[in-house]
Structure 1
């Protein structure tokens, strides 16, 4: 016999399933797409649960920001360009959804190479073996010669690069996010970490010039960040360290200069969730008011879904959450 008697389950107090609320209900389940397999229909028919609900909510907030004339600031790592989604982001620029592009030096390197030569992204493991990685003459000369070509001009690095690129009207300009931003008068800021990019390997790299102009871009970003209050959106696409750190400092300077900046949405997209994007973009900036989102997935899948959701909602004059 057991040293202790078993519990008498005949005495448990049971209740009706209908007497307590439940977290899962059929009304929130996914719906078949049917014959109308459009992107907007796809988003509307996602289950109204967890990340799917968050995704639709973020799209709604971006659409609301656009309609209210609030900024949508894009912080973008360079890998986003390499996976081929620039044409989709260009659509968002042309539709006046993206109001500011902040990227790093690798971002402008890949964009420039694609605009002029239609190729980018070396085989690093192969080329580093003989020291040839990052030694492409044309890319370095185009960017590094800015120091001599623009001496004395009081413009930020992003504006200088975009202006020079546009002046050449390169063969593949329709694939260039920088060119599109220049044509649509969308500010571009470039936030450089000296020594992290291939152009730093070349003898014509001027560290003082790049540092000075990137610092000016930081101050330009502050002016965009101050307008996020009450309805703006900031999106971090694939920057794990540099841009989250830059954004946090830009936000604190903006709050120091202009006062309370709250009530905006912040979202991080990446294939792996990292500490700095979630702390410095999503969580800390929205603690005093706002909404934060984190989405895990590959850019070549997530960014098309995001873009189609935004454009579909704008063109249908409805939001993806309606009719859910």
Structure 2
């Protein structure tokens, strides 16, 4: 039985080569790590917590939005990964797209205002290759992030050396991609297999949850993800706490550190959530990551700033540990 409702016919779409697109960002913005003269005190504390978590073999989780990729912070993250200070990375679907385009062509990001006007936004042939990569990886039982990292690395794409996904794959660090169907430009394409995207991304969610089983004495960091990061973290934490409470012997997952870096102007004391009458109440990273999930034993820190400033500061603090 099929739906009684009309579905859009994707065969009507015109998908153009990326050579026809004007990209706004290229690999020239990707910085070589440079020590910061000043480091926010909270980032020094978190760097120390990461080193302690590494020693205890606890989780060191980084969650990011796509603007981290577009800010040129890759080499800072590579070094933190190589030092063992990050052992899991959770991202949204846009991160996979920007990382793949960087690796393939050395450039990414289209002008939305320009291409939405003529209906061409997102409809680029080479970017659509990700749908095939995801589908093929899914048939092999891979998560979405692993499939992309494996493809970039094993096919030695022209700019694979600046791919976060490839670097993580080579280091054995899971990159879990938490896709929302219809959120990403590759979902516009005629070759998108929604079942494969969903299955591969759900597999990544279970990989992410498995990483949180080691969160006691660990660290979870969120750079610039207002919805994906706090939501997957909340559900996965509920799962691992439930399993820990029902284990023999019982375990607890309460003593850990959270960090949020974003541009919201939060009060100095982030240990209490905003009232429902305040718009900031609906900023999920605050109430979820900085208050509710650390209320019974954890510690939380918030640093306001652009990624191009906060990530180098965290790296600088960690470099001497």
TM-score w.r.t. length of structure 2 = 0.79
Q: Which residue of 2 aligns with 1:72?
A: 60
User: Which one of the candidate residues 22, 45, 50 is aligned to 1:62?
Assistant: 50
* C-alpha distance in structure 1 between counterparts of 2:79 and 2:293, whole Å: 28
User: Which one of the candidate residues 299, 302, 309 is aligned to 1:301?
Assistant: 309
* Structure 1: segments with no counterpart, 5+ residues: 1-37, 44-51, 315-324
- Residue 139 of structure 1 aligns to a residue whose secondary structure is coil
CA RMSD, 1 decimal: 1.7
User: Which one of the candidate residues 258, 272, 275 is aligned to 2:264?
Assistant: 272
**Are 2:111 and 1:119 equivalent residues in the alignment?**
no
User: Which one of the candidate residues 172, 182, 194 is aligned to 2:181?
Assistant: 194
Structure 1 runs of 4+ off > 6 angstroms? none
What is the CA distance between 1:262 and its match in structure 2?
1.0
* C-alpha distance in structure 1 between counterparts of 2:134 and 2:177, whole Å: 15
* Structure 2: segments with no counterpart, 5+ residues: 1-33, 246-251, 266-279
Counterparts in 2 of 1:1-324, with a 5 A limit?
Answer: 39=35, 42-43=38-39, 52-141=40-129, 143-150=130-137, 152-229=139-216, 231-259=217-245, 260-272=252-264, 275-311=283-319, 313-314=320-321
- Residue 268 of structure 1 aligns to a residue whose secondary structure is strand
Deviations 1:268-314 (Å, cap 9, x if unpaired)? 01122661111222221111111011111111111111111112x22
- Residue 126 of structure 2 aligns to a residue whose secondary structure is helix
Give the structure with higher Rg (CA). Answer: 1
* C-alpha distance in structure 2 between counterparts of 1:81 and 1:148, whole Å: 24
* C-alpha distance in structure 2 between counterparts of 1:167 and 1:202, whole Å: 25
Contact 1:193 1:242 in 2 (8 A): no
